[in-house]
Chains A and B, each alone.
Chain A
Amino acid sequence: MTTATAAPQTPAPTPRTPAPFRMLSEVGIVVWRHLVQIRHNPEQLLELAVQPVLFVFLFGIVLAGQMGGADGSYLAFVVPGLMIQATVLVTARTMTGLHADVHTGLMQRLHTLPISRFAPLSGRIVADFLMLLWSLLILLVTSIAIGYRADITLLTAVEALGVIFVFYFALAWVAAFGALTVRSPESVQALGLATMLPLTILSGAFVDTATVPAWLQPVMIWNPVSLAVDSVRGLIAGTDIAESLLRLTVICAVLLAVFISLATRAFTRER
């Protein structure tokens, strides 16, 4: 046990490990924390699995006939939509979890530690993305079980996951800003619902945007959810996705630029 000395010691200015590696290891430690949380509360995995099963059942079996796709064509259409919907829903986790950290004071403690300011949120984003992968796995297994087939290469699968990650990363910063500015956990939930429901409903996740009234079309086409769905759908179908991918990239870049600076400012502001 070392003893602290009475004279004020100026703390060592030089850290042992170079900054990027330190940041990586800090993020790793935060991810470890979130995985331990899951180990203690495994029912969270169940919750993340039930949702996709229900939605695949609803859209792939219950509604498929009505949608004119009893032959499985609607299932093929809607699976990428459900994947992006799952992505949007996972951001709710990111938001409530971050809000709890701020609320309990844990975030304040983390900010008094000599670690990167971005490590706590980055760790949470990585951990929640792992949860999203679990949710997507269940979604795909369920879809395949009821007849979904996709003829894609491993590279395409990785590309699709890349699109999903970029989209999730942008949404996570929006969620972070929401979590930092909203006071009560109830308001976090209300805010989450109020933004996520319209985002997914008014998108091309479940319907072809060409079938809606003309005045609604611009909203649906420019909705980032539609752009992410179009990109993933196009990747799986092997069609040209240059345009939707470009639009998605632009929107994600704008969201990141705006919300990283807003969230960083909210971090340092008194609540």
Chain B
Amino acid sequence: MTPAAIEANALTRRFGSTTAVEDLDLSVPAGSVVGLLGPNGSGKTTTVRMLATLIAPTSGTARVLGLDVRTQAERIRHAIGLTGQFTAIDPNLTGRENLLFIARLLGQRRGDARRRALDLLDRFSLTAAADKPARTYSGGMRRRLDLAASLLGEPAVLFLDEPTTGLDPIAREQLWDIIRTRIARGCTVLLTTQYLEEADRLAGNIIIIDHGRKVAEGAPAQLKRLAGDPTLTLRARDTADTQRLHGVLHAIAGAPPAALDAPEGREASASVPAERVAAVIRAVDDAGIALESISLREPDLDDVFRQLTTKEAGR
């Protein structure tokens, strides 16, 4: 088993009478990416702030690279990078100056700092804007500069707190690419996000939290299985075949299919285990029903999430 780069046991943080994070257990194997998924106010940021040594836990323990966040914070800070929800850059400095500032504070010599800044600006497609004030950057550029700043110290552990919140789809895609390259370099990443797609695309393991508590954990595929079978939707070419189409689907799926396009009623859909989809199609073909379209939708994490959080709300 790979040793854990981040490990938390019964981690709890209270602010006055509100409990932001409660009894959270968490383990991120070295070199892996774990996604912490949850809605606004679910305790994601508080968890990251505790692990990044910004605030102390109320109770419980947390270790980063084997070091205690309470007593060995100083040493942890040598090995982590944090990209928070708000871009932590100085808008009045240029992109290059921002990176130089952080690199120098990390104790890098002037020449090394310059070289590293140059290299990161290049890798993050910021070379052209390197000498413009950061306040003139677009949202995507700011995030990239912010991420570059958190990589200056070659951190072994990277915390990404909602790295793409508020970005347009293209900028998000770009940032995902960068994060993926980073992951390929062997960095341990704890990613928080409210976007299920983001967690699905980047993380090997996902922890879903709500109201400061863990509600589910597993690989994206495992979690999706929680949401049940994929949905198969068939559409007959002729209205006359509709009855028979419903009959076939009913026989195999074991439950009456839903008619989606009433009143015309040529469409039927049902939840079907992936391995039985072929059987359904064969049966439809055997019955001589001509189909106009077939669609199969995998349950996505949104389904899982909706299911888990409604269960929570119903308690």
Chain A residues proximal to chain B, CB less than 8 Å? 1-13, 15-17, 22, 26, 29-30, 32-33, 36-37, 40-41, 101, 103-106, 108-115, 119, 268-270
Contact = CB atoms under 8 A, between A and B. Distances in A.
Question: Interface SS of chain A: helix, strand, loop or mixed?
Answer: loop
B93 A12 contact: no
B85 A105 contact: yes
Contacts of B185: 3-4
B88 A10 contact: no
A9 B156 contact: yes
Q: A1, A22, A41 — which one has the most chain B CB atoms within 10 A of its CB?
A: A1
A109 B84 contact: yes
Contacts of B91: 104
Interface of B: 2-5, 15, 20, 30-31, 46, 49, 52-56, 65-67, 74-82, 84-94, 97, 101-102, 104-107, 119, 133, 149-150, 153-156, 185-188
A29 B75 CA distance: 21
Given A6-B31, A26-B105, A106 B88 contact: yes
A268 B55 contact: yes
B34 to A, nearest CB: 14
Given A2-B154, A33-B93, A113-B77, A10 B102 contact: no
B186 A5 contact: yes
B106 A1 contact: no
Contacts of A114: 74-75, 77-78, 106-107
Given A4-B186, A10-B66, A268 B93 contact: no
Contacts of A11: 65, 67, 75-76, 78-79, 156
Nearest to B104: A29
Q: A8, A101, A109, A111 — which one has the most chain B CB atoms within 10 A of its CB?
A: A8
Q: B31, B77, B92, B106 — which one has the most chain A CB atoms within 10 A of its CB?
A: B92
Nearest to A107: B88
B105 A29 contact: yes
A36 B52 contact: no
A117 B18 CA distance: 28
A7 B2 CA distance: 8
Contact of B84 (A17, A26, A108): A108
Nearest to B115: A1
A40 B131 CA distance: 11
Nearest to A111: B54
A22 B74 CA distance: 14
A41 B156 CA distance: 37
Given A9-B79, A112-B54, A41 B92 contact: yes
User: Can you list the 7 inter-chain pairs with the closest CB atoms, starting with the nearest?
Assistant: A105-B86, A6-B31, A109-B88, A105-B88, A11-B78, A11-B79, A114-B77
B30 A8 contact: yes
Contacts of B77: 112-114
A6 B28 CA distance: 12
B101 A29 contact: yes
Contact of A15 (B79, B105, B107): B107
B144 to A, nearest CB: 15
B30 A104 contact: no
14 contacts: A3-B185, A6-B2, A6-B30, A8-B30, A8-B156, A10-B67, A11-B65, A32-B104, A36-B97, A103-B86, A105-B88, A110-B105, A269-B55, A270-B46
A10 B104 CA distance: 22
A108 B54 contact: yes
A96 to B, nearest CB: 13
A4 B133 CA distance: 31
Given A11-B79, A29-B104, A113-B77, A4 B87 contact: no
